[in-house]
Amino acid sequence: MMSDEYPVPEEWMADISKILFTEAQIQARVAALGRQIVHDYADKKPVLVGVLKGVIFFMADLLRAINIPVEVDFMSVSNYSPELRDKGVVRLVKDLEMPIEGRHVIFVEDIIDTGLTINYLLRNLRARQPASLEVCVLFNKEKRRLIDLPLRYKGFDVPDNYIVGYGLDYREQYRNLPFVGLLKAQALHQPAHPATGL
């Protein structure tokens, strides 16, 4: 599977059963989302808000596809425990650096699965009284959604499988694959790293 188009190590490709979206397909879709945002926010100087870390590739490419004034900021969350996560509670470990009151905010996510993380964070952001708040998601995994979310901008619908690449990880690996692929079941069962536990 190694080729000029996918210059990634052979052993990583061995963990991927199928490429779902190529680098070119992702870039074309991100460019289209950027054009939609430019059209909708021409005089609004939007703030793009992302949640680390999976969003970094999407955010970087989306920003470059927006050729109007725009600002960016990041949050970081961590799950308290599986039990609290199931209740939709996440811990904010890094907050935004800029105030968003009265600003037009676009919440940018790499993937939405159950919707619990984004639901919690949207409530948090709404309380800061932005002028508007919309969601832009690249990969939408609808199958496991627990909460009805209005998604103003959507890249791709994805199946209920473990996908990696373009920022999406499995135990912190594979984020740097330029494409998005399905992870083989055998890769999901690798033992945790003895030092990091990941």
Binding interface with ligand PRP (CB under 6 A)? 51-54, 109-118, 169
User: Taking the alpha carbons of 148, 149, 155, 159 in that order, is the dihedral positive or negative?
Assistant: negative
Run of H or E including 56:
helix 56-64
Residue 42 class from Cβ within 10 Å (0-12 exposed, 13-18 middle, 19+ buried)? Answer: exposed
Please name the amino acid found at residue 85: R
Please choose, from the candidates 186, 118, 198, the residue with its C-alpha nearest in 3D space to the C-alpha of residue 154: 118
Closest separation in Å from C-beta 115 to ligand PRP: 5
Q: State the catalytic residue, choosing from 61, 110, 113, 148.
A: 113
Q: Has 148 been annotated as catalytic?
A: no
Q: CB of 147: closest distance to ligand PRP in angstroms?
A: 9
Residue nearest to ligand PRP (CB): 54
Q: Closest approach of Cβ 80 to ligand PRP, in Å?
A: 13
Q: Which residues are catalytic?
A: 113
